[in-house]
Structure 1
Amino acid sequence: MVSDVVSSRADAIKVFLTTNGWAGVVPVPLVDDASARKYYRLDDGRQTALLMDFPPDAVSVDPHGIHENPERLASVAPVITTTALFLQAGWRVPVIYASDVTQGLVLIEDFGDLTLTHALELTPTSKPALYLRAVDQLVALHRHCGAGMETARGHLVHYQPANFKRMLESFKTDYLPLIVPAPAKRVAAITDFDAMLDRVLPQCWRVGDVIIHRDYHVDNLMLVENDEGEEDCGIIDFQDAAIAPRPYDLVSLLRDVRHDIGPELESSLKNRYCAAFDDLDRSDFETSYAACNMVRNFRILGRFGWLAIKAGKRRYFDFIPHCWELILRDADQNLPELATWIATYIPAEARLAPTMLPTDEGAQ
């Protein structure tokens, strides 16, 4: 039965490629990530392109906190919408050559392999300049938001505190059981967690909302040569764009659990962003930034738990201690309610990688 499904998918891909001028070209798989979406490189000897394969029967996690049940069937439709939106905003995103929403297949421009992550590995001393480039891309997008928000509101999900609260359900159901095994203590922790969220989540909007990429970090930013022979900052993996609190993408970039830039560079880049907007209240911004940081990193912990339990993927556990460090960074000053909840229910030893799961079958 499984082989029939694989064969059927291969046939669908073959038909799609033949229809769109890539007959006979064998797709070469690229490294997968934490989603069911897969990418392949196509090369016919004259040009290259990427094939996005997101089977419509695959299980995807609702990225926006719209549904009580976060597991949904996949769709490439958001890719089509957000590509047009970001091109209009002036971002350098991959052009779509062809798509079949019914089959979950999209043929897109190939930006190559030089992510900012790889560029940082090649030349570590370039870190400030590369991160500065990424921050300036956010500044450009958020300046565009003044004129482009009405168009975006007609196409993108507009986050409210309830969206974030639903996103954090996985933290309670998939991650907390790994570190708070006692049922009574976990119930108390969840009760106080929900009460804390009711107070803290509205703080995310202290400086308004903008269009966000939603997964804005150096793995999704690339150096792409332009027509003048210079390098643009190419942006990928933006299909989950939304309208959300202003600091959300900046937090994603500067407090990425996989790439620690340190408090000093983080502060400098925050200053760069804030200086670009004369009407931005810095105190409100810092509170909003801290609240968005809490949301993003609790959501990531929930995702790590979900991947471990549902998909047997434990390789992300190595990031957990740093994730807690990021959540707590400046929390005493900006979000004392958060710091108090963690001190009460999550002692230092519980902020390490979990040592056991409900089942270890298929663990990686």
Structure 2
Amino acid sequence: MTAIGRQDAIDRFLRDNGWADIQPVALVDDASARKYYRLDNGRQTALLMDFPPDAISVDPHGIYENPERPASVTPVIATTSLLSQAGWRIPAIYASDVALGLVLIEDFGDLTFTRALDLSEASKPALYLRAVDQLITLHQYCDTRFESADSGLVRYGPDNFKRMLQSFKADYLPLIVTDVAKRSRAISEFDAMLEVVLPNCWKSGEVIIHRDYHVDNLMLVENDEGGEDCGIIDFQDAAIAPRPYDLVSLLRDVRHDIGVELENSLKDRYYAAFENLDRSDFEMSYAACNMVRNFRILGRFGWLAIKAGKRRYFDFIPRCWELILRDADRNLPELAAWIGHHIPAEARMAPSLLSRQQSSEQGAS
């Protein structure tokens, strides 16, 4: 669809749903092809999600060998009802057109937890406590009332994680291991390491995961009692997966360092809410999910740089490696050994895209 045709479709969708002649105001984009616009008619506001079906989308769940898939707003619609039933404060859907990739949703405003933290560093413990308590709410629902067979959600196994980490090998490793023979050995030993480590992710069972649970996707939203709820957005990739995955996403977010002391305190609070958890299994599962999430993020950074020209995420790479290695010696010695052998400290910095060109030339020779 041409740009003019797309705009005509948007105008028609807005007109049919009571927002005629309202100029959408673009919001800051993220790392996906989805775009968001705020609508304001002077009495109320709403958000327009624009996710055209011909956009490039990446399979979030590791289902397909080729991760690039047709875009769809269907997951947004499907997960809204489920997570609301589980007790989460989710934006309501006012209208949608799946064929066009357009959704009109409730506007939670602009006060993300990230912005609240920028306004007051002192609010950090309280905000993160709210976020952890939301995970406890969801996971207690999963443990007592959730029927996974009827949910329609993807259920992760080790193969899903292996496919998610293909991008780490294909899009990121060539940036830092430019010698083809060395990279081939590193990948072979990486795959062998995953066979040992990945099963540890499930040592504490499985629950519904948001899959991108961090302070950018949490918001302070006014409620009818004059207080504030923890609103949750960007949940369309929800799945059934290892229990600690979202907790790791929150507490070991590459963009927001909360410190080891607060991390451990919040992890303790989560653990205490589930009397049947084994602590050693929980810690090993937490560490294994941390490995998966941060290797996946490194692959995404490489993909965004090469395919979309977005290099601003390279600044986070050194911290990503620090998080992967945190407690690895104790919980995942196989992981620590692989990194120590193949990824020296100087390779854990932000790479130059020139490395990619050199790698391609070596592979073609």
Q: How many Å apart are 1:148 and its aligned residue?
A: 3.9
Question: Are 2:222 and 1:215 equivalent residues in the alignment?
Answer: no
1:349 — aligned with what? 346
- Aligned match of 2:122 in 106, 121, 125? 125
Q: How many Å apart are 1:139 and its aligned residue?
A: 0.2
Post-superposition Cα deviations, 1:86-142, rounded to whole Å, max 9, x if no partner, equal: 111110000000000000000000000000000000011010010000000000000
- Aligned match of 1:96 in 93, 98, 105? 93
Indicate the percent of aligned positions where both proteins have the same amino acid. 77
- Aligned match of 2:336 in 314, 334, 339? 339
Query: 1:104 is matched by which residue type in structure 2?
Result: G
- Aligned match of 1:82 in 58, 76, 79? 79
- Aligned match of 1:230 in 227, 230, 234? 227
Post-superposition Cα deviations, 1:148-202, rounded to whole Å, max 9, x if no partner, equal: 4315653100000000000000000000000000000000000000000011000
Report matched runs for 1:171-320 at 5 Å: 171-320=168-317
Q: Matched residues in 1 for 2:94 and 2:292: separation?
A: 35
Decide whether the 8 Å contact of 1:304 with 1:314 is kept in 2. Answer: yes
Q: Matched residues in 2 for 1:153 and 1:295: separation?
A: 27
Query: 1:257 is matched by which residue type in structure 2?
Result: V
Q: How many Å apart are 1:337 and its aligned residue?
A: 0.2
Query: 1:302 is matched by which residue type in structure 2?
Result: G
Q: Matched residues in 2 for 1:274 and 1:314: separation?
A: 37
Query: 1:228 is matched by which residue type in structure 2?
Result: E
Q: Matched residues in 2 for 1:6 and 1:185: separation?
A: 45
1:6 — aligned with what? 3
Question: Are 2:100 and 1:106 equivalent residues in the alignment?
Answer: no
SS at match of 2:204: coil
2:362 — aligned with what? none
Q: TM-score, normalised by structure 1?
A: 0.97
Query: 1:310 is matched by which residue type in structure 2?
Result: K
- Aligned match of 1:15 in 9, 12, 21? 12
Q: Matched residues in 2 for 1:151 and 1:96: separation?
A: 23
Q: How many Å apart are 1:288 and its aligned residue?
A: 0.1
1:326 — aligned with what? 323
Unaligned runs of 5+ in 2: 359-365
Q: Matched residues in 1 for 2:43 and 2:352: separation?
A: 50
Decide whether the 8 Å contact of 1:83 with 1:95 is kept in 2. Answer: yes
Unaligned runs of 5+ in 1: none
Q: Matched residues in 1 for 2:151 and 2:44: separation?
A: 36
Q: Matched residues in 2 for 1:71 and 1:24: separation?
A: 35
Query: 1:275 is matched by which residue type in structure 2?
Result: A
SS at match of 1:350: helix
Q: Matched residues in 2 for 1:223 and 1:88: separation?
A: 20
Q: Matched residues in 2 for 1:165 and 1:129: separation?
A: 36
Which 4+ residue blocks in structure 1 deviate beyond 3 angstroms? 151-154, 357-360
Aligned residue pair count: 357
Q: How many Å apart are 1:355 and its aligned residue?
A: 2.0
Q: Matched residues in 1 for 2:149 and 2:51: separation?
A: 24
Query: 2:249 is matched by which residue type in structure 1?
Result: S
Post-superposition Cα deviations, 1:319-354, rounded to whole Å, max 9, x if no partner, equal: 000000000000000000000000000000000000
1:69 — aligned with what? 66
RMSD: 1.1
Decide whether the 8 Å contact of 1:85 with 1:152 is kept in 2. Answer: no
Q: Matched residues in 2 for 1:300 and 1:266: separation?
A: 20
Q: Matched residues in 1 for 2:145 and 2:54: separation?
A: 33
2:139 — aligned with what? 142
Query: 2:139 is matched by which residue type in structure 1?
Result: H
Q: Matched residues in 2 for 1:319 and 1:151: separation?
A: 35
Q: Matched residues in 1 for 2:215 and 2:33: separation?
A: 21
Q: TM-score, normalised by structure 2?
A: 0.96
Post-superposition Cα deviations, 1:215-274, rounded to whole Å, max 9, x if no partner, equal: 000000000000001000000000000000000000000000000001110000000000
Q: Matched residues in 1 for 2:150 and 2:167: separation?
A: 27
